[in-house]
Amino acid sequence: MALFLPNRYSGRLIVVEGIDGSGKSTQISLLSHWLRSQGYAVAFSEWNSSPLVRQTTRRGKRKEMFTPTSFSLIHATDFANRSESYILPLVKAGAIVCADRYAFTAFARDVARGVNRRWVRNLYRFALRPDVCFYFRVPLDVAVQRILGGRDAIKYYEAGMDLGLSRDVVESFRIFQGRILDEYEAMAEQMGFRIIDATLSIEEQQQQMREMVVEALGQRPRAGVLRIPEGDTSAGATAPAILQ
């Protein structure tokens, strides 16, 4: 993957990707807690969480103001803010940064909306290259059932209602998420995704992730990655999921 800024720093970047209902958020949360328990300095960043941008995004979604282009750009703005102000400095400082969703979300979603594939890859050119990217592969039906079963009503843009795929929200969601799934699958090899079968038990998935992370972090980088000193009880507190 020639895309992105190479990680020449002592920290590491681990990201998870997948459609809604793939279980990735659960897994990255477990992973980051485990890494912390192993004594590493861990930070966490999630999609759409920039304090400078998220109000604009929320308002835009609520009032249905977005077009595919502006939707893509506002998410890139949010990402850029987190990247510049949080992710990059922490990786430079030697922390392990865990990200729930990364540029690949934009690559899949924005293209599913009709945005030019090459354009959106260039848009994220400034992003740091992840050391590991986990892709949670889940059959569309399973993901849809999880979403319908668990949460509040599916939202307008989440369902791709702006694309006029169907008048029925659930049907639109299915079609839209199906398109996103196709985009993820098409880029999986080129982007070097580590594929996790999201139909396995939570424990099995987590085990696989831990093994892959240990393998990817290796011995040499371990020395550079920031570890919490022995007996230091002040450090190791849960890092904020959002910027302060």
Partner 1 sequence: MPALQPLQFYSEPLPGIDTADLHGKLIVIEGPDAVGRSTQVARLRQWLEQEGHAVLDTGMARSALAGKGIKEAMLGNTLGPIAMTLFYTTDFADRLENEIVPALRAGFVVLIDRYIFSIMARAIARGEDRRWIEQVAGFALVPHAVYYLRAGVDDLVRRVVLGRGAFDFWESGMDMRFGADMCQSFTRYQSRIIRALDLMAKRYNFTVVDASRPPDEIFRDLQKHIGALEFNGSPIEARPAAPARKPRRKRTWKSTS
**Contact positions vs partner 1 (CB under 8 A):** 50, 52-53, 55-56, 60, 65-70, 73-74, 76-77, 80-81, 83-85, 114-116, 119, 122-123, 125-126
Least distance between partner 1 and beta carbon 244 (Å): 10
Length of the chain: 244
Rounded CA separation 224/95 (Å): 9
Q: What are 30's two structure tokens? A: 């477990």
Name the amino acid, one letter, at 224.
G
Least spacing, CB of residue 51 vs partner 1, in Å: 9
The backbone torsions φ and ψ at residue 132, rounded to the nearest 5 degrees and listed phi first, read: -140, 135
Q: For partner 1, which is the closer residue by CB, 125 or 151?
A: 125
Is residue 17 within 8 A of residue 105, CB to CB? The reply is yes
The DSSP secondary-structure symbol of 163 reads G
CA atoms within 13 A on the CB side of 25: 7
Q: How far is the CB of 125 from partner 1 (least distance, A)?
A: 5
**Nearest distance, CB of residue 114 and partner 1, angstroms:** 5
Shortest reach from residue 182's CB to partner 1, in Å: 18
- Of 64 and 232, which CB lies nearer to partner 1 in the complex structure? 64
- Shorter beta-carbon distance to partner 1: residue 35 or 74: 74
What is the three-class DSSP state of 17?
Answer: strand
Distance of CA 154 to the CA centre of its chain: 20
Compute the C-alpha angle 127/132/134, nearest 5°: 105
- How many Å separate Cα 22 from the centre of its chain? 12
Instruction: Please report how close the Cβ of residue 94 comes to partner 1 at its closest, in angstroms.
Output: 21
Smaller CB separation from partner 1, 115 or 217: 115
Of 53 and 144, the one with the shorter C-beta distance to partner 1 is 53
What are residue 135's phi and psi, to 5 degrees? -115, 120
Of 19 and 123, which CB lies nearer to partner 1 in the complex structure?
A: 123
